[in-house]
Structure 1
């Protein structure tokens, strides 16, 4: 699969991942350290209260049974050491009572933690099913194109967000959609599902790309509040060598041709989907040549508006110029990794990248597998960052 969803938890530093297996043993090590200090120092009751650290820490790393075992071990060790050091019975009884109290509280906390983890796992499994229904996996080849998608939800435990994409092969050619819903959370996910659903149906039924956009607009007008909207780019490849683009208030796609990165800017501004009734303007259809070797990158503003510590935006055009090659998967992976490095490892907004590459005759496979529904003026103006594209070897 060329789709590669990412989530915040996947960006933990490797040192934490390496340390995780020893965490359940840490309470035992702490109890052992207290015993060792007491035996060496012979300091009576001075160190025994620290034995409560064992069951308290076990509550964060073990189940209730593990907490109980660590607590009983700490209490037994405390009693033996207290008697050995000649501690007063009243003081020793207080220490042991505190150990038992911490152990029981730890058992309760551990049970509640495990329950929350089970609930979270169930929610995440439902979210994953929703992701596969909304953002269906994209095959590596769709029609004549090589395709790659990279999607990252900003929420650490989220599988989907307000960004959306779709790519389908229809009787009218390959059609694709990348968009961004205003807002976040479940309402944004619901709107994204609505847009993708209408697009997939209309793309198969309507021969004209503007009619596809109009159907999405009508559906949103019936279902969105007056202050909600969706920015989107809808594109199609109706015939060899020709690409159609309809931009509804979205960031311009980036076209890579002859080693130059060119933004496909709209000839006139078009309002986002859901706001046509307020503006009275209709979107326009741009037609541009798309020849063998050309590449097109569609993306959301979570990529271009990502800032580093110096509050500098990520320069996507320059990054694409550095990493563009004939393997879309390698390109979007390199862009995604560079984006994460730019923001310090964690995105604060959903981000989606969808890249198409038209293989040359030498690169094209002998046959193309049947495409399935996928999860997701001209370009003659001066390119932003007209850098030469490096050609990478095929993997």
Structure 2
């Protein structure tokens, strides 16, 4: 595969060099044999200009030398080489060629620096988005993070799962943007969550404090969608700050919509909390918007409720996530263009209802955190 890619790279470079050489050769022919076409020498500057936007300094230098040689040939054939107008145009051509070479060198240096920065950011993102396949507290957790194909792209997806005195807590977020700043913001949010999750009893307080933490560093149009979850025996408590709602997989699929609409982090969010009951064997899928915004060739978004039942019912959670990604790429008929983070959770050892003195209906009784639980 490496040999094949190297060959393709050579063909691309050869094609990029061929265009300016061919254009300048055509202009030189017109200037030589068409008496009515006058601006032959100055027009040859188009070759180095095209080259500096496509090739490096060496390729641009080669095209500039080619243009200078063609211009001198045109002047010689038409007996204009010693005339003042030709000399002036030729000097302009040489100066333009030198300038094009310098511009190409600067563009190459900037591109190399950007690629290096992106590689560093991708490594940092990989450290942030480490895969999880473990029992954390009393919850079995499996994760996947699928990155887009573009090598110059980094995403803002972030997640974390921690075992705290308050239960197993899950955080998943999506920083607006796909640049280096998104990775830095994601790292800030992740670090803040880790600091707060172990010492802050209420999820809503974590959200408010993270909002205050990231707001000073965000631009006027930047924000972070975030979802906080806390697992307790037979239930999950949710705080949603503008993030896609999690999906509960059990007897049926159900989106666990937030109790109140809340702004994303960085915009002064004041979220509410919601309690959702879980039956034994229920799973909860947390995800970023790259999943539901995946589009088919005709522009249709991925139908989450219609297409997730079978994949997410796989016996093994790891197989379920792989099957879900396969279903999404089958829908798009191509690899995803946006990054997608998936976190699938299932309580490892559910406690019987009688222990908690609560009842649940067949749909899973749900209410706001702090509400009195129904008793037997």
TM class, shorter-length:
0.5 to 0.7
Contact kept? 1:303, 1:339, Cα under 8 Å: no
Matches of 2:291 and 2:269, distance apart in 1: 28
Contact kept? 1:246, 1:284, Cα under 8 Å: yes
Q: Aligned match of 1:58 in 51, 55, 75?
A: 51
Aligned residue for 1:82, secondary structure, equals helix
Aligned residue for 2:45, secondary structure, equals helix
Aligned residue for 2:363, secondary structure, equals coil
Measure how far apart 1:82 and its partner are. 3.2
Q: Aligned match of 1:332 in 325, 336, 348?
A: 325
Matches of 1:319 and 1:331, distance apart in 2: 8
Q: Point out the more displaced range, 326-335 or 164-173.
A: 164-173
Contact kept? 2:153, 2:178, Cα under 8 Å: no
Aligned to 2:304: 316
Aligned to 2:371: none
Measure how far apart 1:319 and its partner are. 4.4
Matches of 1:329 and 1:92, distance apart in 2: 68
Aligned to 2:253: 261
Matches of 1:312 and 1:116, distance apart in 2: 38
Aligned to 2:278: 288
Contact kept? 1:243, 1:287, Cα under 8 Å: yes
Which of 1 and 2 has higher RCO (CA within 8 Å, sep 6+)?
1
Corresponding pairs, count: 328
Aligned to 2:114: 120
Inter-CA distance 111–189: structure 2 relative to 1 (3 Å threshold): closer
Structure 2: which 5+ runs fail to align? Answer: 1-7, 349-359, 365-376
What's the TM-score once normalised by structure 2's chain length? 0.64
Aligned to 1:82: 75
Matches of 2:107 and 2:341, distance apart in 1: 36
Matches of 1:88 and 1:217, distance apart in 2: 75
Matches of 2:176 and 2:115, distance apart in 1: 28
Matches of 1:264 and 1:354, distance apart in 2: 16
Measure how far apart 1:98 and its partner are. 3.6
Measure how far apart 1:112 and its partner are. 2.4
Aligned to 2:161: 167
Q: Which has the larger radius of gyration?
A: 2
Aligned to 2:367: none
Matches of 1:142 and 1:176, distance apart in 2: 13
Matches of 2:201 and 2:12, distance apart in 1: 54
Inter-CA distance 151–64: structure 2 relative to 1 (3 Å threshold): closer
Inter-CA distance 18–331: structure 2 relative to 1 (3 Å threshold): farther
